[in-house]
Amino acid sequence: MSALLVRGLGKTYADGTEALRGVDVHVGEGEIVAILGGSGCGKTTLLRLIAGLDEASAGTIAVTGENTVISAVFQEPRLLPWLTAEANVAFGGRRLGAAQRQDRTQSLLRRIGLAGYGKRWPRELSGGQQQRVAIARALIGHPGVLLLDEPFSALDGFTRASLHDLLLDLWRELQPTVLMVTHDIEEAVVLADRIVVMRPHPGRVQETLRVGLPRPRDRLAPEFDLVKRTALRAVNRSLAPPPEPHRTGPGVSPWL
Amino acid sequence: MRRGAWLGLLIPLVLAVAWELAVRHGLASGRLMPPPSRLAQTARALSRSGELQMHVLATTQRVCVGFAIGAAAGTVLAMLNGASGLTLRLLDPSVQALRAIPSIAWVPLFILWLGIFETSKLALIALGVFFPVYLGLLTAIQSVDRKLIEVGRVFGLSRTEIALRVTWPAVMPAWIAALRTGLGLGFMFVVAAELMGASEGLGYLLLDGQQMGRADTILVAMIVFAVLGKTADSLLVVASRPVLRWQDTHRLRL
């Protein structure tokens, strides 16, 4: 088990664009936290910094606990096209011994419903199947922290819902600490324990919401709707122009 | 065989038969453009005396050795410059400047430096092969999808591991395409080298045919060149097939 602690994180790019300013995020052991925000709020930048793909300009990122392995699922599957589905899954488990890697690959392929597809090339799989393989690749090494960068945004609604269930199943079993980025409010409410709403230009934390619904969550329940509305309001606040003393009436939400 | 593949043979066959008939019926002398039957005779005579085999062997050896040297050098230098920004800035401008010199222009210098025998010929062929291989591979390395490199980094691969497990497989198709281009140029430069002075090789046969006024010899040498070049290219394609199976367009035409 491990926790992720981000303190005062800032990122200014070489061209002077400030993408993040003073971001504090804490993800407890085995918790799922969703970062919610519109474009330009630096949520992808935040994830890239934590994944070690970019260097922060300020602040610290710490992974505490016995398992400090971080892995990630990107917005696109990013499978290596020259490896079969099973070799792609195994690619994530380089630190494992050969036998264990083989075992876990096969059992994960079964778990993601692609048992008979191990020998296929990525191009022979649908978008949803490719993203399942990417999830299996990220989990085979039993990471302490799993980062998800809008991993379902390119998929259709049905596929997305089934991948939400798959992700939650695997999360229950392996208990990674999950930080996910999304612009889909419903997705955040379905998956997360807490939702961190960010505001843009530069990206910083607007507020944090506790979802507090028992799992499995019923998307049709009134309480679900309530949380969704609360989140929507927070997002709207985050999109509002910087504090002005007199505001007249609610604007039209771009989220509707 | 693919359906309709024979269709491509129709026009050459019709032309060959028509020419054969034209010469037989006295419509043309066939002195400068001998008919197919004469070419077959010449080829048979040349191969019975063992002359043809000797020329083919000499040319093939030159292409093989020159290609191996040029391809290896181009590959190594492209890998080096693709991996390190320092050597890229240090070496690439010079390589590009040398590339601007038509390779044939090196001939006098090579002869002066290396003599008129094998070494200068091999140097010319290797030089011709080097540039397309270098340029093709370097361009491919520089344009590998950054997103795939990031996958390697997220999963904690070292630079070497990323080079071996991500970059190298990603550039494989472009490398093979560059090798094919290089091989084609290798054949071009072997002719140039052999025309410049050789006592054996298909290029010598071409020159011999010209000096003896034997158009049939020239044509036989040209046809053998076509067969050799096509065979070599096909071998390369077949050899590369297992590593390119993943590609959508792996059915490279033979």
Q: In this predicted complex, what is the ipTM? A: 0.82
Per-residue confidence band for A210, with pLDDT thresholds at 50, 70 and 90: confident
Say if residue A216 is preceded by a cis peptide, omega within 30 of 0: yes
What residue has token string 């590009």?
B96
What rounded mean pLDDT belongs to chain A? Answer: 84
A94 with B166: Cβ contact below 8 A: no
Say if residue A77 is preceded by a cis peptide, omega within 30 of 0: no
Interface list for A 115-144 with B (CB within 8 A): 121, 123, 141
Distance CA A55, CA B235 (A): 47
State residue A167's pLDDT score.
87
- Report which of residues B134 and A201 the model is more confident about: B134
Q: Closest chain A residue to B158 measured between Cα atoms?
A: A94
- Cα A212 to its chain centre, rounded Å, is 19
A80 with B156: Cβ contact below 8 A: no
- Report which of residues A239 and A15 the model is more confident about: A15
State residue B254's pLDDT score.
47
| Confidence check: pLDDT of B40 > 80 | yes
pLDDT, mean of residues A16-44: 84
DSSP H stretches of helix in B167-247: 168-195, 202-212, 215-240
State residue A62's pLDDT score.
83
pLDDT in tens, A52-105: 888 888 888 888 888 888 899 998 899 999 999 999 998 988 888 888 888 888
pLDDT in tens, A174-195: 888 999 998 888 888 888 889 8
Q: DSSP states of A219-244 as a string?
A: TTSHHHHHHHHHHHHHHHHHHSPS--
Q: How big is the CA angle at A67 (ends A63 and A70), to the nearest 5 degrees?
A: 60
Interface list for B 157-176 with A (CB within 8 A): 157, 165-166, 169-170, 172
- The model's pTM is 0.81
B246 with A53: Cβ contact below 8 A: no
Highest mean pLDDT among A92-101, A142-151, A227-236: A142-151
- Cα A246 to its chain centre, rounded Å, is 36
Q: Give the end-to-end CA distance of chain B in Å, rounded to a whole number.
A: 11
- Report which of residues B65 and A161 the model is more confident about: B65
pLDDT, mean of residues A124-133: 88
Chain B residues within an 8 Å CB radius of A91: 151, 155, 165
**Which residues contact residue B16 at a Cβ distance below 8 angstroms, ignoring those fewer than 6 apart?**
B36
Contact (Cβ atoms closer than 8 angstroms) between residue A20 and residue A42: yes
Distance CA A150, CA A35 (A): 10
pLDDT in tens, B141-171: 999 999 999 999 888 888 888 999 999 999 9
State residue A3's pLDDT score.
86
What rounded mean pLDDT belongs to chain B? Answer: 89
Per-residue confidence band for A153, with pLDDT thresholds at 50, 70 and 90: confident
B147 with A51: Cβ contact below 8 A: no
Contact (Cβ atoms closer than 8 angstroms) between residue A154 and residue A73: no
State the nearest Cα–Cα gap between B78 and chain A, in angstroms.
22
pLDDT, mean of residues A141-159: 86
State residue B96's pLDDT score.
92
Amino acid at B114: L
User: Hey, which residues does A12 pair with through a beta bridge?
Assistant: A18
pLDDT in tens, B229-254: 999 999 998 888 888 888 765 554 54
Tell me what percent of the residues of chain B surpass a pLDDT of 90: 55
State residue A211's pLDDT score.
82
Give, in order, the Cα–Cα distances in Å from A181 to each of A185, B58, B96.
11, 65, 45
State residue A190's pLDDT score.
86
Interface list for A 44-73 with B (CB within 8 A): 51-53, 69-72
pLDDT in tens, B86-132: 999 999 999 999 999 988 898 889 989 988 888 999 999 999 999 99
| Confidence check: pLDDT of A245 > 80 | no
Chain B residues within an 8 Å CB radius of A69: 156
Per-residue confidence band for A43, with pLDDT thresholds at 50, 70 and 90: confident
Distance CA B90, CA B81 (A): 9
Distance CA B142, CA B81 (A): 9
Distance CA A83, CA A112 (A): 18
